Amino acid sequence: MKTKHILFSLLATFTILATACKKDVEFLYKGDMLPFVISGYNASNEKLNVKLDTFQRLFQIPNGPFKVSQAFTFPEGQQSLKVSITPEGADKPVLEREWKKGDNVGKVNFFYLNGVAGEMPEPPAFEEGKIKLRYMWNPVMTKYDGPVDIAVGKLYFTPKVFQELARIKNVKAGEFSETITIDPFPTAGQTYNGQPTSVLFVIYLYKAGTNEFYTAGTGYNWNITTSAPKPNANVASSKMYIFTENPSGSLMAFVKNLEL
């Protein structure tokens, strides 16, 4: 009899616990959950506030690339979710999206600059046997306000000779250039006028319409080995870069903010 009482008590306890756990599970998973991803690039110094429906600010997007993944559980009776992105201090959002209950996932991928949020730019289409490049540059230190020419080429290091392969003219700061296309080339085991030399792949920024580095007169110097970001010279590729001035002392250098 004592054994039966013990078994009965254990079964009763298990039943109570199982019922409680079932209620907890029903409570925790009541309503539909929507995963969402917000990604892109903020090319301004403004903070962008992300808001879900009437909720308070969810998070801020600073200057630079970002990717945030979260999930939203629809309360009972709610059938849609609105996402708004607003510059700090602004009255109106620059971008809004609405997702429905039952959507598999919500996605936003955008590019923000000069008060406008648009589709995230894409690198040039890949082409076999070609290097294809697009650039956006930000002169945060020199504040250079004129257009530049972006010249792509080889630097034969021993005689210090630059051979230009392609050039895009009149590129403005904060705007994407047209596509630059060149053929891949080897950098080792090369010669110049019969003399062995290494070859560097370099991207130069000139004052528009000249062969003068844009840094002339800004207080910064351009070393011949200085280059904007670039891919491997030996392999076909398709790249898009956003880069910013990042000098070391008086010598100009750059930091790559985004590579796609």
Q: Which amino acid is at 31?
A: G
User: What confidence tier does 114 reach under pLDDT thresholds 50, 70, 90?
Assistant: confident
> In the prediction, which pLDDT does 127 show?
97
- Does residue 244 belong to any structural domain of this protein? yes
CA distance 223 to 213: 10
Is 218 part of a structural domain of the chain?
A: yes
| pLDDT at 33 exceeding the cut of 90 | no
| Nearest CA among 125, 253, 113, 235 for reference residue 175 | 113
Give the residue from 47, 43, 60 showing the smallest Cα distance to 111: 43
Sorted by sequence, the CB contacts under 8 Å of residue 223 that are 6+ apart come out as 251, 252
pLDDT of residue 146: 96
Domain that holds residue 220: 131-259
Domain assignment present for 254: yes
Q: Are residues 102 and 189 in the same domain?
A: no
Q: Please indicate, yes or no, whether residues 154 and 211 belong to a single structural domain of this protein.
A: yes
Residues with Cβ within 8 Å of 178's Cβ and at least 6 positions away in sequence, in order, are 134, 168
Do both 144 and 213 map to the same domain? yes
Q: What is the pLDDT of residue 76?
A: 83
142 shares its domain with 244: yes
Residue 93 lies in a domain: yes
Res 13 pLDDT > 70? no
End of a domain among 91, 119, 147? 119
Compare 138 and 45 and report the one with higher pLDDT. Answer: 138
Q: How far apart are CA 95 and CA 210, in angstroms?
A: 40
Residues 60, 258: Cα–Cα separation, whole Å = 19
CA-CA distance, 73 to 214, in Å (whole number)? 53
Q: Do 170 and 219 share a structural domain? A: yes
Same domain, 83 and 160: no
pLDDT over 80 at 62, yes or no? no
Q: pLDDT grade, residue 12 (50/70/90)?
A: very low
Which runs of consecutive H residues, i.e. helices, occur in the chain?
Answer: 2-28
Cα–Cα distances in angstroms (integers) from residue 42 to residues 99, 113, 118, 139, in the given order: 23, 7, 11, 16
- For position 57, which CATH number holds? 2.60.40.4150
What is the per-residue pLDDT across 118-172, written as a single tens digit (0 to 9) for each? Answer: 888 889 999 999 999 999 999 999 999 999 999 999 999 999 999 999 999 999 9
Amino acid (one-letter) located at 141? M
Based on the fold, state whether residues 136 and 237 are members of the same structural domain: yes
Please name which of 44, 36, 42, 95 lies closest in space to residue 66, comparing C-alpha atoms.
42
User: Of 7-11, 179-183, 229-233, 241-245, which range is least confident?
Assistant: 7-11
Question: Do 69 and 151 reside in the same domain of the chain?
Answer: no
Q: Per residue in 195-246, pLDDT tens?
A: 999 999 999 999 999 999 999 999 999 999 999 999 999 999 999 999 999 9
Residue 4 within any structural domain of the chain: no
Residue that terminates a domain, selected from 71, 98, 119: 119
Cβ-count burial of 178 within 10 angstroms (0-12 exposed, 13-18 middle, 19+ buried)?
middle
Mean pLDDT of all residues in 21-45: 67
What is the SS3 assignment for 208?
coil
pTM over 0.95? The answer is no
Residues 99 and 141 in one domain: no
- Kindly state whether residue 5 falls inside one of the protein's structural domains: no
Q: Is 9 domain-assigned?
A: no
User: pLDDT confidence of 59, banded at 50, 70, 90?
Assistant: low
Q: Which residue has the higher pLDDT, 20 or 113?
A: 113
Residue 1, pLDDT > 50, answer: no
pLDDT at 61 over 80: no
Q: Are 187 and 73 members of one domain?
A: no
User: How many structural domains comprise the chain?
Assistant: 2
6 has pLDDT over 60: no
CA distance linking residue 198 with residue 202, whole number of Å:
13
Q: Among 84, 119, 154, where does a domain finish?
A: 119
Same domain as 191, residue 146:
yes
Same domain, 233 and 136: yes
Q: Tell me, what's the pLDDT at 143?
A: 95
**Is residue 108 situated within a structural domain?**
yes
